[in-house]
């Protein structure tokens, strides 16, 4: 197992791609197409030409995780892309996915994520609950919350869980857990069940997240994300009740607080760079969108 740092947007420690040598050369979440050159260089450094990769395991279809899948499939016809069946349609036809991402990132979309190509249908393997694992020793675990079709992948022989965004943003082993809640697909009820029930019995030596790196203490990080999600829901709900001015002030305050919490654990300037690329304001917006759309999810008065 290896980690390739894509140094996305010139930023180390922002997006990582996991590389598995067994049972066949496999990538977990290849990242966006803008980082293809860096991905290929990282694979070459490992002695693994791109053409020898046989599988992509996608945790979900957001472009920072899966945007390069179409380019990789076009360059490597022997590559198979494994994704939850509900995400497969967006790999085959990414038009709606790209349109949604453009609404979130605006003019920065093309610079950050680049061109998104469809994956040929014969190279997609959609996984559904109740279906056996597509690869020996690799167990897909449904982990909805960040998005409904999110999967974590457990490499059972390694004692390793590849969690995507299911355990939040962990920019350093000692940094606090940041909730990844961009619009429009966050589901608090599903995420709480993922963290408190689905992942509770999982026993691994370590887990990997896309943003970023290898971490221990799965139980502690599960609980930390539950607390972070509840805290964000509470503050967003409070601001919504107070009105638009309070919302805008709290949205900006949350963004700056997120930078301030991560900054002591990272080289100077890196926390601000990360949260300007992946704005904490967007996570505030995603929580607001969810609470507005799902009144039952709002905290009781």
Give CA–CA dist 25/19, Å, rounded. Answer: 7
pLDDT at 150: 98
Place of tokens 């000692």: 174
Give the H or E element holding residue 153: strand 151-155
Q: Give this prediction's pTM.
A: 0.96
- How do the pLDDT tens digits run along the chain, 301 residues long? 999 999 999 999 999 999 999 889 999 999 999 999 999 999 999 999 999 999 999 999 999 999 999 999 999 999 999 999 999 999 999 999 999 999 889 999 999 999 999 999 999 999 999 888 889 999 999 999 999 999 999 999 999 999 999 999 999 999 999 999 999 999 999 999 999 999 999 999 999 999 999 999 999 999 999 999 999 999 999 999 999 999 999 999 999 999 999 999 999 999 999 999 999 999 999 999 999 999 999 988 7
Distances (CA, A) of 91 to 125, 186, 188, 219: 10, 20, 25, 32
Q: Are 202 and 161 in contact (CB under 8 A)?
A: yes
Give CA–CA dist 79/185, Å, rounded. Answer: 28
Domains in the chain, please, with CATH?
A: 2-218 (3.60.15.10), 228-297 (no CATH)
Distances (CA, A) of 70 to 41, 103, 113, 189: 18, 21, 13, 32
pLDDT at 113: 96
Give CA–CA dist 19/123, Å, rounded. Answer: 19
Rg (CA), the chain: 18
Distances (CA, A) of 86 to 53, 58, 125, 240: 24, 12, 11, 32
């Amino acid at each position: 197992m290896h980690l390739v740092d894509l140094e996305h947007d010139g930023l180390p420690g922002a997006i990582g791609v996991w590389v598995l040598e067994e049972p066949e050369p496999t990538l977990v979440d290849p990242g966006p197409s803008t980082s293809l050159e860096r991905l290929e260089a990282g694979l070459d450094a490992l002695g693994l030409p791109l053409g020898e990769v046989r599988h992509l395991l996608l945790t979900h279809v957001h472009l920072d995780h899966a945007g390069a899948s179409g380019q990789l499939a076009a360059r490597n016809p022997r590559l198979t892309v494994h994704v939850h069946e509900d995400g497969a349609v967006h790999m085959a036809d990414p038009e709606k996915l790209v349109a949604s991402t453009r609404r979130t990132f605006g003019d920065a979309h093309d610079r950050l994520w680049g061109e998104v190509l469809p994956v040929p249908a014969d190279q997609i393997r959609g996984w559904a609950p109740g279906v056996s694992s597509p690869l020996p020793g690799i167990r897909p675990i449904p982990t909805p919350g960040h998005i409904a079709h999110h999967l974590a992948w457990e490499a059972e022989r390694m004692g390793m869980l590849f969690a995507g965004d299911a355990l939040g943003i962990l920019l350093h082993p000692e940094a606090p857990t940041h909730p990844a809640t961009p619009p429009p697909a966050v589901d608090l009820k599903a995420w709480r069940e993922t963290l408190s029930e689905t992942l509770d019995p999982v026993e691994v030596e370590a887990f990997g997240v896309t943003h970023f790196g290898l971490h221990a203490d799965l139980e502690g990080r599960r609980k930390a994300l539950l607390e972070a999600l509840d805290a964000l829901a509470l503050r967003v709900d409070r601001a919504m009740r107070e009105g638009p001015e309070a919302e805008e002030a709290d949205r900006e305050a949350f963004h700056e607080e997120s930078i301030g919490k991560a900054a002591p654990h990272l080289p100077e300037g890196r926390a601000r760079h990360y949260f300007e690329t992946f704005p904490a304001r967007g996570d505030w917006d995603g929580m607001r969108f969810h609470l507005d759309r799902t009144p039952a999810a709002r905290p009781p008065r």
